[in-house]
Amino acid sequence: MIGILRFSVAAVAALAALAAGSAVAQQPAPPAFAPPNLTPAGVRSLAANCAACHGTNGRPAPGSTLAGLAGKPQNELLTAMTQFKEGKKPATVMHQLTKGYSSEEIAALAEYFSKLTR
């Protein structure tokens, strides 16, 4: 009787360990970033995320106090975004926002906006 009980306790413990092991195995670590879609259409959709604040095509609405992005020098845009991401440039929102983009995406955004006319 006690022998059977011991056996089942051990079996339950072994099953629980197995289940825990497989639950962990089923959750691979998420990638830091999804593979970037840097096709022209992909970059355009990344850039669309900026329109809410910086205006359509990087041109802020009249009277907006936010910086325009269209036609700014590529290097200026790249530096600002990189510094936001690294916490080196004071910001209210951009420090968080830029953390959602990989360096490749930030470079592509800088290039994209620099080529738009102001």
Site size for ligand HEC, by CB under 6 A?
17
At residue 76's C-alpha, the angle toward residues 71 and 81, to 5°, is: 105
Q: How far is the CB of 52 from ligand HEC (least distance, A)?
A: 5
Does 38 bind ligand HEC (CB under 6 A)? Our answer is: no
Residues 74-103: x where in contact with ligand HEC by CB under 6 A, - otherwise, as a string:
---x--xx---------xxxx--x------
For ligand HEC, the closer CB: 25 or 44? 44
Q: How far is the CB of 44 from ligand HEC (least distance, A)?
A: 12
Does 49 bind ligand HEC (CB under 6 A)? Our answer is: yes
Q: How far is the CB of 78 from ligand HEC (least distance, A)?
A: 8
What HEC string does the chain produce?
CHHHHHHHHHHHHHHHHHHHHHHHHCCCCCCCCCCCCCCHHHHHHHHHCCHHHHCHHHCCCCCCCCCCCCCCCHHHHHHHHHHHHCCCCCCCCHHHHHHHCCHHHHHHHHHHHHCCCC
Q: Which residues bind ligand HEC (CB under 6 A)?
A: 49-50, 52-54, 66-67, 69, 77, 80-81, 91-94, 97, 109
